[in-house]
Amino acid sequence: MRHPPPQTLAQKLIAHASGRGAVQPGEIVTCKVDLAMFHDSSGPRRLKPMLAELGAPIWDRDRVVLVIDHYVPEADEEARRIVRIARDWAREQSLRHVYDSEGICHVVLPQHGHLRPGLFAVGADSHAGTGGAFGAYMFGVGATEMLGVLVTGEIWVRVPQTLFLRWSGRLALGVTAKDMMLATIGRFGLNGAQYQAVEYCGEAVSALSMNERMTLANMSAELGAQTGLVAPDDETRSWLWQHGVHDVEVERWHSDEDAPGTRHNFDASTLAPQIALPHSPARSRDVADIEPTPVQVAYIGACTGAKLDDLRAAARVLAGYRVESGVRLLVAPASVRDREAAEREGILRRLEEAGAQLLPSACGLCGGYGQPLPDGATVIASIARNPKGRLGSASAQVFLGSPYTVAASALRGRITDPREVLWDGETDSTR
């Protein structure tokens, strides 16, 4: 009996969705979609008129998730119009899975049990690849592609090559998955993995929490990848169990030892905290190589920078201290569930005592919505990307860093290596 050639995780997921035993990179196949997600900005206001023109129904309402996260809380009449369209359309279509003002879609989706290993999913957002942290094949699509999915439940894909990024060792205190990604993007560039599947593996990745793995998968978009993947394991199973997903199969979903792909090795133990200069994640440097630039705004928010682990990191830096005078520290927990957990743990209290202003759990500033930044402000933020105008002001100079780095910089009023703060000890009043 002839056995199929070695397959990557990406190949196995696509083969499963296309009903085939195996697929090869470069093949074009049609896949059945297990889940389609969109939000108020990418969804109903664009899809409703197109569906009406076709006169076509949604193929399976149980497989559709709408998250209202971009234009809430509604700040003006345009936002109210967009959100009203989304809410009205959800009622008209009798959608079962609607999450209104509960947080950012990429975090809300798994927290409500919609992801598991082996799924094939699409999302109308460039960071939809976050689902790959759970061993699902998930990628972003535009409105026209999403229309086809909603009507047929299928989509074609070209089987991608896989780029394996293996991280040995362990991350030091104050260094996170965000630093791993900024370093990777700095090395390979914004198109370094164009239309590839990036698989993160190795000892350091296995040691990461699911929140941190989500950051890896999420920021694969900044590499130009179609998706980012982490093979599921016991950590995946445990996290999903806690979020209501049982009978999780993890053993099947991994790359074969000799699977085809390009491989690069990194040592996590030598990684320093990273800073991305304006206006691109590809302009990443070790924090020690950055001038101690004064900052006026520090922002801990977005799908890649304000999950529960991120809030814990910021609180670890700031507990018992106040941010530097003249620095505005803004914190927007990624989801209502993360906000509630942070409140129970006392994290929000510590952040507020340090001078943080808490914002709603929504895309907010990262999408250019909500409170505008002062023109010309120097900002350090935990978001995924920093092109001009990303935070609403075209003249703002936005640096990127991990939540540890953002909090440390707010504390000292200038871009700061968080290890200096964490290693100073609890009695050092110079923090």
- Phi first, then psi: give them for residue 65, nearest 5 degrees: -125, 130
Q: For residues 30 and 81, what is the distance between their CA atoms, to the nearest angstrom?
A: 36
Spell out the domain ranges in the chain.
9-267, 274-424
Q: How does residue 19 score in pLDDT terms, banded at 50, 70 and 90?
A: very high
**Conformational region of residue 261, where left means phi above 0, alpha means psi within -120 to 50, and beta covers everything else:** left
pLDDT score recorded for residue 325? 96
pLDDT score recorded for residue 215? 98
pLDDT score recorded for residue 2? 67
SS (H, E, C) 86-109: HHHHHHHCCCCEEEECCECHHHHH
Q: How does residue 393 score in pLDDT terms, banded at 50, 70 and 90?
A: confident
pLDDT score recorded for residue 424? 61
pTM above 0.75?
yes
Residue 153 has pLDDT above 90, yes or no: yes
Question: Cα dihedral sign for 355, 359, 365, 369?
Answer: negative
Q: For residues 270 and 267, what is the distance between their CA atoms, to the nearest angstrom?
A: 6
Dihedral of the alpha carbons of 296, 300, 303, 306, in degrees to the nearest 10:
180
Residue 159 has pLDDT above 70, yes or no: yes
Q: For residues 276 and 280, what is the distance between their CA atoms, to the nearest angstrom?
A: 7
What would the pLDDT profile of 288-317 be if each residue is shown by its tens digit? 999 889 999 999 999 999 999 999 999 999
What would the pLDDT profile of 130-144 be if each residue is shown by its tens digit? 999 999 999 999 999
Same fold, 9-267 and 274-424: yes
**Conformational region of residue 265, where left means phi above 0, alpha means psi within -120 to 50, and beta covers everything else:** beta
Residue 33 has pLDDT above 90, yes or no: yes
Residue 367 or 241, more confident:
241
With beta carbons less than 8 A apart as the criterion, state whether 248 and 241 touch: yes
Q: For residues 19 and 157, what is the distance between their CA atoms, to the nearest angstrom?
A: 13
Average pLDDT score over residue span 113-121: 98
Residue 372 has pLDDT above 80, yes or no: no
SS3 167: strand
User: Which two structure tokens, joined as six digits, stand for 78?
Assistant: 């345009």
Rg of the chain over CA atoms, in angstroms?
21
pLDDT score recorded for residue 426? 44
Average pLDDT score over residue span 198-206: 98
For residue 121, the number of C-alpha atoms closer than 13 Å in the C-beta half-sphere is 32
H or E segment at 14? Answer: helix 9-18
What share of the chain has pLDDT > 90, as a percent? 91
DSSP 329-357: EEE--SBHHHHHHHHHTTHHHHHHHTTPE
Average pLDDT score over residue span 167-172: 98
Average pLDDT score over residue span 43-54: 96
Residue 374 has pLDDT above 90, yes or no: no
Fold category of 9-267 in CATH: Aconitase; domain 3 (3.30.499)
Q: For residues 383 and 307, what is the distance between their CA atoms, to the nearest angstrom?
A: 11
pLDDT score recorded for residue 394? 86
H or E segment at 281? Answer: none
What would the pLDDT profile of 123-132 be if each residue is shown by its tens digit? 999 999 999 9
Residue 22 has pLDDT above 60, yes or no: yes
Amino acid (1-letter code) at residue 46: R
With beta carbons less than 8 A apart as the criterion, state whether 223 and 192 touch: yes
Query: For the chain, what is the mean pLDDT?
Result: 95
CATH 3.60.20.30 describes domain 274-424:
no
Average pLDDT score over residue span 261-286: 98
Residue with tokens 């001078």: 355
What would the pLDDT profile of 243-267 be if each residue is shown by its tens digit? 999 999 999 999 999 999 999 999 9
Average pLDDT score over residue span 50-59: 95
Average pLDDT score over residue span 328-347: 98
User: Which two structure tokens, joined as six digits, stand for 351?
Assistant: 């952040």
SS3 164: strand
Q: How far apart, in Å, are the Cα atoms of 246 and each of 118, 240, 243?
A: 14, 7, 9
What would the pLDDT profile of 90-105 be if each residue is shown by its tens digit? 999 999 999 999 999 9
What would the pLDDT profile of 170-194 be if each residue is shown by its tens digit? 999 999 999 999 999 999 999 999 9
Buried/exposed 139-162: b ≥16 CB within 10 Å, e otherwise:
bbbeeeebbebbeebebebebbbb
